[in-house]
Amino acid sequence: MAQQRGANVKIAIGFEDAYATPPTEGFILPINSTTVKPAQTVNAAATLTGSRNPVQPFRGNKDVSGQIVVPVDTRAMWYWLRAMFGLPVITGSAAPYLHEFSVPQLQPSLTIEQQMLDLAVPRYIRYLGCKIASAAITVGGDGELVMTLSVVGADFEIATSPFVASPTPVGLSRVNNFQAAITEGGAVLSNAPQIELNMDMGLDTDTFVIGGGGVRGDITEGILSIGGSLTTLFKDDTLLVKAIDGTESALKLTVTANANSIFELEMQEIEYAVNGPEVPGPQGVRVTLDFQAYHDDGAADSAVVARLTNADAHA
């Protein structure tokens, strides 16, 4: 009997029309790894029977959770950004097309399926009613540029056939760390070795209901939390003074492979926290400033805006 190999697992997703109901359209997406899994605890009961022997345990609620690490690109990333922000505004009558995503009132739910095709009888581990709970990206250095997505879901099942017979494979148009650029307060920032961004979608997962069979009745949206940190070589005190004075600024990260392949994250309104600099040794001094993004009067009407430029119309 063949053991399933991770290299041969396919990940299919689809956008649900009804919460926790498999859709009729699916897409095979490239990933680096996934820890999304089903869980349901078996708990020891405290029942006394006049004997030291334990009684039959009881089961807890069902859970679906974990992380998916995906390569940052300008094609497959469209589907993950749609999962976070809903459908984008698309500009362009011919390639390249600009896809602009902003903070939505409602967040789509997904069916995510792990296709185990090495088994003698293939199995499809299916997670229903999934939403992206958070996303994290670190830009800088020499490693692979990836985004880590945290997923929560409602229910799971193991099937002998996929939820869509012929899901659409989606290609990869990778972008890299060395292609990144940062604009801070409207000006190019050329002394930043690293920027981290974390987006918490503010989802309520404590939604188990009586009569729901131990499954989350919904995963409801709350207020996003968007922040991160910016590390710079300490060449002047410009950013530190902004932090001390509480001056509003802005950050834009742009990763450009070519004119048809651009990934961008913009925060039009941010404030820095005061922190450092420290002098840990004889090497060059750096300063790392945490920041929080928000929306007050920014033109985008969104605390964060994600943009993809690619050749896919998505009409």
pLDDT in tens, 106-121: 999 999 999 999 999 9
Report d(CA 90, CA 78) in Å as an integer.
12
Average pLDDT over residues 205-226: 97
Tens of pLDDT, residues 235-244: 999 999 999 9
Average pLDDT over residues 26-37: 98
**Distances from the Cα of 70 to the Cα of 45, 168, 288, 301, angstroms:** 41, 18, 26, 28
- Return the pLDDT at 3: 95
What are the backbone dihedrals phi and psi of residue 100, each rounded to the nearest 5 degrees, phi first?
A: -115, 120
- Return the pLDDT at 175: 98
Residue 64, pLDDT > 80, answer yes
What is the residue-averaged pLDDT of the chain? Answer: 97
Report d(CA 92, CA 312) in Å as an integer.
10
Q: Taking Cα atoms as reference points, which of 129, 123, 127 lies closest to residue 161? A: 123
The token pair that represents 135 in the structure block: 């996303």
> 293, 103 in Cβ contact below 8 A?
no
Above pLDDT 90, what percent of the chain? 98
> 23, 5 in Cβ contact below 8 A?
no
Average pLDDT over residues 84-111: 97
Does the reported pTM lie above 0.85? yes
The token pair that represents 45 in the structure block: 């009961």
Report d(CA 256, CA 248) in Å as an integer.
27
Q: Where does the pLDDT of residue 2 fall: very low under 50, low under 70, confident under 90, or very high at 90 and above?
A: confident
Average pLDDT over residues 83-100: 97
- Return the pLDDT at 315: 62
The residue to which tokens 């880590």 are assigned: 148
Identity at 276, one-letter amino acid code: G
Q: Where does the pLDDT of residue 276 fall: very low under 50, low under 70, confident under 90, or very high at 90 and above?
A: confident
What are the backbone dihedrals phi and psi of residue 58, each rounded to the nearest 5 degrees, phi first?
A: -120, 155
Average pLDDT over residues 18-35: 98
